């Protein structure tokens, strides 16, 4: 379902007097219809990359609400800001999720290829501010193009290209300065004990698939690295699906996502004896409340929980 179709459905539901979501009163032209400002009370935390994502998505959400009266996209970007505040991996908008004209698609596909290349070269760490601004500006650009606001789309595209070029230059420069050090002699002192791991991870999946997103791959790799050698830690897994399909189907889909993470852990040598609980809850315990039928990246996840 495209976002344009989703907007029409939400508007029709609101006119019919239906409750769209359990949110309180909101500011903006769609007062009380959409969740546009719950990220206002969150705090930027974690890496500079996530802090910048939080700030930029929050500003973009406010702009879509106040300047354009676009409650659906204001809610979408508000949810991305909320996820950034919890240091969760966030995917840029998919070309397939936007109602674009055929001739408009290639430029966004090319933009995603450049953005992915920066991620692959370590842009989140080497150029965190520039990489985060590029991602949010891409979402701004593709949303404005779908909304047929050419001046807005042009400004967002220029911001995307400027931030991406800066991220590419910084990442290339930093990688070029890396030198291969001579082998160190065998240390006399033993290596330090491992630091305690992060206690909670969210691994996002592609829409209607058991394929982990590129950012989810990084989160899962980090989780496996953190817990592999700390055998005393027990692990809980909870697998989710968003509410865009039938309940029974989403329950089965979440089970397959749980199995995908379990298989990766087993391949890394993590014994199933360490699993405290494995749950597949489908759409029944959404992490981000949405109306039925709504796609939400934040609900297409497997939680890895080490909290006892």
Provide φ and ψ at 203, rounded to 5°: -105, 105
Q: Range of 285's domain?
A: 200-305
Asked if residue 207 and residue 172 are part of one domain, the reply reads no
**pTM, entire model:** 0.49
* Spatial contact of 164 and 127, defined as CB atoms under 8 Å apart: no
- pLDDT at residue 119 in the model: 84
Determine the Cα–Cα distance for residues 134 and 140; give it in Å rounded to an integer.
10
pLDDT single digits (tens) 137-184: 999 999 999 988 999 999 999 999 999 999 888 877 765 554 445 566
| Percentage of residues of the chain with pLDDT beyond 70 | 77
Domain count, the chain: 2
Residue range 49-57: mean pLDDT, rounded: 88
- CB-based contact 28:71 (threshold 8 Å): yes
More confident residue, 229 or 181: 229
| pLDDT at residue 175 in the model | 57
Domain boundary among 176, 191, 223: 176
Cα(129)–Cα(300) distance, rounded to whole angstroms? 26
Mean per-residue pLDDT of the chain: 81
Of 247 and 43, more confident: 247
Any domain includes 37: yes
Average pLDDT over residues 233-259: 94
> Rounded CA gap, 114 and 58, in Å?
24
Evaluate whether residue 10 is within a structural domain: no
Q: Are residues 25 and 169 in the same domain?
A: yes
Question: What are the pLDDT digits (tens) for 56-89?
Answer: 988 888 888 776 667 788 888 888 888 888 877 7
Q: Are residues 213 and 166 in the same domain?
A: no
Paired tokens of 77: 């970007």
- Has residue 6 been placed in a domain? no
Residues 165 and 286 occupy one common structural domain? no
């Amino acid at each position: 379902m495209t976002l344009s179709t989703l907007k029409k459905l939400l508007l029709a539901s609101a006119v019919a007097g239906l409750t769209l979501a359990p949110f309180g009163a909101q500011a903006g032209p769609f007062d009380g219809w959409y969740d546009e400002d719950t990220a206002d009370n969150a705090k930027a935390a974690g890496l500079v990359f996530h802090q910048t994502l939080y700030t930029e998505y929050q500003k973009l959400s406010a702009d879509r609400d106040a300047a354009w009266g676009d409650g659906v996209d204001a809610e979408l970007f508000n949810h991305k800001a909320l996820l950034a505040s919890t240091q969760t991996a966030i995917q840029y908008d998919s070309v397939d999720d936007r109602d674009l004209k055929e001739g408009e698609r290639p430029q966004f596909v090319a933009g995603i290829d450049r953005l992915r290349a920066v991620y692959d070269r370590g842009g989140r760490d080497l150029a965190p501010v520039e990489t985060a601004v590029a991602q949010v500006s891409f979402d701004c650009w593709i949303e404005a193009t779908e909304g047929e606001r050419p001046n807005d789309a042009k400004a967002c595209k220029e911001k995307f290209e400027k931030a991406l070029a800066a991220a590419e230059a910084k990442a290339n420069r930093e990688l070029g300065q890396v030198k291969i050090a001579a082998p160190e002699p065998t240390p006399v002192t033993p290596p330090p004990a491992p630091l305690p791991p992060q206690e909670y991870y969210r691994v996002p999946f592609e829409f209607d698939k058991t394929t982990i997103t590129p950012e989810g791959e990084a989160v899962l790799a980090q989780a496996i690295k953190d817990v592999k050698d700390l055998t005393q830690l027990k692990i809980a897994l909870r697998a989710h699906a968003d509410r865009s399909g039938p309940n029974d189907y989403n329950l089965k889909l979440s089970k397959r996502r749980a199995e995908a993470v379990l298989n990766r852990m087993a391949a890394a040598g993590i014994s199933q004896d360490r699993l405290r609980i494995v749950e597949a809850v489908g759409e029944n315990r959404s992490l981000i409340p949405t109306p039925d039928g709504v796609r939400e990246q934040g609900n297409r996840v497997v939680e890895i929980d080490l909290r006892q």
